[in-house]
Amino acid sequence: MANNRRVARVASLIKREVSQMLMSEIKDDRVGAGMVSVTDVEVSGDLQHAKVFVSIYGSEAARTETMAGLMAATKFVRRELGQRIRLRRTPEILFREDLGVERGTRVISLMNQISAERDAKSQLADTATGEEFDDDFDEVSEIDVPAATEELE
């Protein structure tokens, strides 16, 4: 078993090398259908398996086409990693689609939609009652606040 530092270092190397391969060396047109970036790599403790998480920007059809291209390029990627990284055994490569970015974007858009609906409701309620809220507070009521310099007993 490799220690955690070595596993993290191998994962970082694999991420860098696969990213470089995606940019310039994989010639499959299906991989270029969607904009692809490597988001994370998980390497098993025995360094035999590596899951490469990729984020694909594009339509659903482009995503499936890109994933098919990556699956077809798996053997090429493994062979190239074996030549570039000095390991006793080159890990098996599995490409997985990372949906975290899309989920985050969807959550943010839902939050913005809820906020816009709340604003619209509050504006309707304000106009229905005829009250307008004024941010200027001309009258300030006096509040009994102990001085900060007084000592507590």
Assess whether 94 and 23 both reside in one domain.
Answer: yes
CB atoms within 10 A of CB 39: 15
The pLDDT of residue 33 is: 61
30 and 86 both lie in a single domain = yes
Question: Is residue 60 in a domain?
Answer: yes
Domain extent at residue 123:
100-131
pLDDT value for 135: 52
Q: Do 105 and 92 fall into the same domain?
A: no
Domain shared by 52 and 115, yes or no: no
Q: Residues 39, 112: one domain? A: no
Pairing between strand 92-97 and 49-57? parallel
CA distance 50 to 47: 7
**Spans in the chain with pLDDT lower than 70:** 1-2, 33-34, 130-153
* Number of domains within the chain: 2
Is 111 inside any structural domain? Answer: yes
Question: What's residue 126's pLDDT?
Answer: 74
> What pLDDT sits at residue 94?
92
CATH of the domain at 33: 3.30.300.20
**pTM for this predicted structure:** 0.66
Is residue 151 one of the residues assigned to a domain?
A: no
pLDDT at 153: 46
Q: Is there a single domain that holds both residue 125 and residue 72?
A: no
Q: Does residue 110 share a domain with residue 66?
A: no
Run of H or E including 94 = strand 92-97
Does residue 64 contact residue 83 with C-beta atoms inside 8 Å?
Answer: no
Same-domain pairing of 10 and 76: yes
